[in-house]
Amino acid sequence: MDCYISQMMHVKRIEKRGGGFSMKILAVDSNPDELTEIELALRKVFPSSTVFAYRDGLSAVKFGYTNRVDAILTARELSRLSGLEVVRMLKPKQAPGLPMVILGSDEKYRQLAKTMHATEYLIKPFTAESLRAALGPRA
């Protein structure tokens, strides 16, 4: 695992190699504990994948503008930009059909997430099975 700082915001790149399908996943959550939970869940479900973890929406969008990923998983509430804004801004920059999942604690944002082009809205706490299903058959 290597860690580096980008524009004074915490950024981690976690790589785990092994058998199976390899995905590049952009994960975003302002809460460091919840971001760690997301990373652990992604590594459990997709052990051969690379996770790019960001703690703020703006840094995640900057990364997504210059790098292709296979899936985006973001919390709805973030610092600097919301998860809804992250999805809206990255949708045209990424491949068509890219799984873009928003994690939230309130059901009332599900429809708004869909109108912002999220492919799925998961309620926290999520399960490994719901994560696998939300990221689709690519896994």
What is the residue extent of each domain of the chain? 2-134
- In this structure, the number of other CB atoms found within 10 A of the CB of residue 129 comes to 9
**CA 43 to CA 81: how far, in whole Å?**
25
CATH number for 2-134: choose from 3.40.50.2300, 3.40.50.11540, 3.30.70.380, 3.40.50.1000.
Answer: 3.40.50.2300
**Which residue carries 């082009």 as its tokens?**
117
Task: Going residue by residue through the chain, which has 139 residues, state the pLDDT in tens, using 9 for 90 and above.
Answer: 232 222 223 344 444 444 456 889 999 999 999 999 999 999 999 998 999 999 999 999 999 999 999 999 999 999 889 999 999 999 998 888 899 999 998 888 899 898 888 999 999 899 989 999 998 664 4
The pTM score is 0.82
Q: How far is CA 40 from CA 16, 46, 75, 96, 135, in A?
A: 11, 10, 15, 27, 15
- What tokens does 105 get? 């604690």
